[in-house]
């Protein structure tokens, strides 16, 4: 049995077979969709409550969240879930050599103001001030207490949705769910297998269709078309090394059989890494990938068949490279 998932824009839309019920709510500043069999519909609300709980703890848009309080006070006691998210963020930062950096909040939320009503394009001189030469630093953990340097601000947006997807996935599996889909913007976990369509990053409609090969596949996707200010040149995919948005990779889709938390963070990092470094990083971890570049080139991983079957490109005009 297969279920259809459309990865479309920042909000994402979903369509599934009739035997599953769909519930969608706006949580974590995006559309969250859970798909379950009718005889497990009592699990919808507990699943959404997990997303709400993580949003209450990690959101930079809620002044009462644990992360917002830590950013303001610079020292705060964190819950187990927030502490775990922070520790995993630091680990992802180290693994990606700082291309994923949770301390980039001064740029993303203070300068660009992504997601706020007063989004803006900052001046070059302001970006220079907030560039951090030593990523992953300035965070000190002692038990459940965390202290951060005065000149940094945490933004867990690059892994928070993946982390929430993992928690919901584990909850549903513990409840014995055999079929379903969890979709948080571009972060997806398939219980059983899914048919997935990827939005055309160069135009309208969808450009790729594939079916996941095995149960439990984690998928993460991101693109410069998801969130930007005035033009796609000012997109939300900020390179922590430069403080500037990247422009070369239009869309990134990653697949593996591990957690969505790491995959979400890796997608964020790979989106801003130099291309060859990104490819070497993904190959070293056995991650499948579909990378759309800015010149109508598409790079498929050589191991893509380990994760998907019946992969089809639905439009012509792209040059496909497998490497």
Whole-prediction pTM: 0.87
Determine the pLDDT at residue 213. 94
Specify the higher pLDDT residue, 22 or 105: 22
In the chain, domain spans: 1-323
Checking if the pLDDT of 129 tops 50, the result is: yes
Residue 203 annotated as part of some ligand binding site: no
Backbone angles phi and psi of 176, in degrees to 5: 85, 20
Letter string b/e over residues 52-87, b meaning 16 or more CB atoms within 10 A of that residue's CB: eebbbbbbbeeeebbbbbbbeebebebeebbbebbe
Residues 211-263 have pLDDT tens digits of: 999 999 999 998 655 554 444 555 556 676 666 665 566 789 999 999 999 99
Q: Which pLDDT value is given to residue 128?
A: 59
**264 marked ligand binding residue:** yes
Q: How far, in Å, are 95, 136, 192, 268 from residue 222 at the CA level?
A: 19, 22, 23, 7
**Closest to 80 in 3D by CA, of 57, 48, 61:** 57
Mean pLDDT, residues 51-73: 95
Q: Does the annotation flag 158 for ligand binding?
A: yes
Rounded to 5 degrees, what angle do the CA atoms 31, 273, 312 make? Answer: 60
* Summary count for the chain: helices (H), strands (E): 8, 21
pLDDT at position 295: 80
Find the mean pLDDT for residues 170-190. Answer: 95
Predicted pLDDT of residue 12: 30
- pLDDT tier at 158, thresholds 50, 70, 90: confident
Question: Homologous superfamily of 1-323 in CATH?
Answer: ApbE-like domains (3.10.520.10)
């Amino acid at each position: 049995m297969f279920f259809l998932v459309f990865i479309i824009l920042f909000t994402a839309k979903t369509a599934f077979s009739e035997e599953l019920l769909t519930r969608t709510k706006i949580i974590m500043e995006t559309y969250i969709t859970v798909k379950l069999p009718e005889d497990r519909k009592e699990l919808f609300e507990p699943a959404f409550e997990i997303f709400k709980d993580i949003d209450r703890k990690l959101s930079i848009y809620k002044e009462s969240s644990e992360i917002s309080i830590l950013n303001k006070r610079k020292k705060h006691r964190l819950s187990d879930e927030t502490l775990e998210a922070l520790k995993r963020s630091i680990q992802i930062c180290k693994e990606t050599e700082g291309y994923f950096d949770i301390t980039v909040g001064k740029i993303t939320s203070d300068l660009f103001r992504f997601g706020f009503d007063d989004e803006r394009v900052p001046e070059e001189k302001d970006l220079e001030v907030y560039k951090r030469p030593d990523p992953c630093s300035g965070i000190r953990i002692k038990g459940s207490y965390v202290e951060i340097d005065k000149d940094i601000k945490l933004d867990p947006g690059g892994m928070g949705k993946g982390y929430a997807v993992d928690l919901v996935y584990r909850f549903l599996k513990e409840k014995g769910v055999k079929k379903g889909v969890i979709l948080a913007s571009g972060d997806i976990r398939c219980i059983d297998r899914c048919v997935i369509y990827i939005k055309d990053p160069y135009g309208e409609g969808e450009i790729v269709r594939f079916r996941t090969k095995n149960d439990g596949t984690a998928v993460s996707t991101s693109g410069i078309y998801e969130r930007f200010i005035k033009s796609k040149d000012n997109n939300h995919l900020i390179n922590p090394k430069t403080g500037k948005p990247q422009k070369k990779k239009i869309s990134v889709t990653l697949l593996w059989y591990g957690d969505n938390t790491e995959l979400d963070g890796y997608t964020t990092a790979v989106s801003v890494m130099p291309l060859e470094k990104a490819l070497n990083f993904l190959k070293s971890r056995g991650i499948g990938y579909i990378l759309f570049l800015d010149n109508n080139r598409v790079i498929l991983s050589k191991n893509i068949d380990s994760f998907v079957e019946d992969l089809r490109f639905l439009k012509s005009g792209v040059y496909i490279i497998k490497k």
